[in-house]
Structure 1
């Protein structure tokens, strides 16, 4: 089953886990430690994303990662979030100059920050589905920006797509029992991305 189909068929817990896993793999771009989103995983195990714990722990994660403004929707060099409906679609000369000055790492970090900023604090199925879909696209774009391949889906992007599919299949097949292996899949991806970020930083020094 395709990634799009899996998101379309996922229940609330699966959608929340899918979006959270995408964000979790991108934590190295936000300067956070590996455990910063663990309380959100715990809230999914305890009662899903519809409990009070989800909203409280989400607010704490935003504060720890300095991403407290849920209205943030602009990514340097990439423009506003298409889902927000803002922007005219016309690129000005100033915007073009900004895009030229922004590094791929900056764009990737801004996309990761937007994933966290737009997570629904009081989620319903429709809000979670929109967020999971946006997180999927953003995570793939992040890996594309940092991939060694110049065009198309390089190895980093292909691996991220496989992890997204794996997380959704685990939740669809096992329900709450799929959360632990889904977290393990996400942890593996986070380690890979952290290594990529470190390697690129060494290359600039």
Structure 2
């Protein structure tokens, strides 16, 4: 599971460019620590190239007030809630790392290294009562994650973004890909 992530334009030039693209298009994604139901920056298909916008993180759940923020990538093509979206409306969450909690409730921040590198997470979106909303995909954890949690985000490299968004065959193959090794640091909060 991935319950929160960071979007820090002031800490990362690439995220600053992504943030500015959203602003230039009239969107105002939240910055800092992103919580479920926040409007976050997303990379989506455009007419000729990808574009950046802001969208609510989380599909409506089955109970009032519930939000579904993650979907298992391994079953997304079969699950009625996600199947149409993963086939037709894939997106990418640009982040500067994500958080996970272990069984002892200690909070850990994950990224490629100590600095706020850009980390891209695969997702999809759809409209609910005319409002676009998104979920991110999770997968089985690798060695860098398994001691903390039994799921991890489906992480793309920068060069895989266009393929994830536009290429159906790539998307179907990618959901079973090995994830990159990450580093973690305990957060004192």
More helix by share: 1
Per the normalisation by structure 1, the TM-score is 0.27
More strand by share: 2
Q: Which has the larger radius of gyration?
A: 1
